[in-house]
Amino acid sequence: MKKIKIGNTDLEVSRINFGGNVFGWTLDEKQSFKILDTFVGAGFNFIDTADTYSWWVNGVGGQSETIIGKWMKARGNRDQIVIATKVGSETKEHPNDISRKHILKSVDESLKRLKTDYIDLYYTHFDDHVTPVEETLSAYDEVIKAGKVRHIAASNLSPERLLESFKVSEENNLPKYVALQPHYNLVERKNYETQYANIVEEYGLSVMTYYSLASGFLTGKYRSEDDLKKSVRGEGVRQYLNAKGLGIIKALDTISEKHNSKPATVSLAWLLAKPNIAAPIVSATSEHQLQTLFDAPKLNLDSEDLELLETASK
């Protein structure tokens, strides 16, 4: 299994990052263990979660980290897994919060749930737009020096706050973000490519995309309004049922047929062919779905394929 280094760190990860938001939400503990066993059994080692997954179920979250922690303890494989989790998201109990107090409290709670002494990659999940950048980064400096976190990363920060973070890091000898987790896929290209891609390049960030399959739209499952009823997530893709979206699906169908592949696999292979994309975040709830993810790093799209997708998704 080919692995890639995150930024300038010694973290080596497989090129698919499993999205743990499904653990304790659409998958129970037993089902989650089975999916994780299959994922790792295929040679992958990178799991993404957050302290608040899935707060929309119980109001506070914590289910995903708890399941991952139980699984790692049961399998005795913590040293073989790269765990990314996040801090700062809202719950029913509090708004977005990246204050020192919240970070120091939350990291200990995450470690307890994950049944581990350290977190490999710790993300600023959401900006609270109130806490000074220096306060957030100083808190990260504390938890890194305490051995609780190895590296930090960013998600859902504005370009301005991201750039300010690098400036403050350099001026105050504070930890720097090594990775970025943006919303980026074939139907959502503009914001990342115009606002973030240059920052990623300048600071050598590794990119882990979220909504990599556009909430399932890029699997090809949703092609009409009737299809929206197929899943609890169906309404979330209604916005893509337009000429552009259906044109992308048509291009994916063409390339899938050419390579005897699946639209989801082709969509992920397109992401993996883009500069600085280390590992798209994507989840699965069955072994069949997992296989479409496993096939993506092995699918080499040629220039004709890439041109077709670029044109359809512009």
Handedness of CA 66, 16, 195, 309 (dihedral sign): negative
Amino acid identity at 107? V
Helix axes 287-294, 29-41, angle to 10 degrees: 30
CB 12 within 8 A of CB 4: yes
CA distance 248 to 219: 11
Q: Is the peptide bond before 64 cis (omega within 30 degrees of 0)?
A: no
Residue with tokens 């499993």: 18
| 123: β partners | 86, 153
Catalytic residue chosen out of the listed positions 53, 192, 196, 210: 53
119-to-140, 179, 260 alpha-carbon distances in Å: 12, 14, 39
Closest to 267 (Cα-Cα) out of 221, 199, 228: 221
- Report the SS3 class of residue 82: strand
With CA atoms as reference, report the closest residue to 299 among 276, 275, 274, 267: 267
Q: At residue 303, what is the residue type?
A: S
123 an active-site residue? no
d(C-alpha 146, C-alpha 149), whole Å: 8
Q: Where are the beta strands (DSSP E) in the chain?
A: 3-5, 12-14, 17-19, 46-48, 82-87, 119-124, 149-155, 177-181, 206-207, 281-282
Could you give the residue numbers annotated as active site?
53
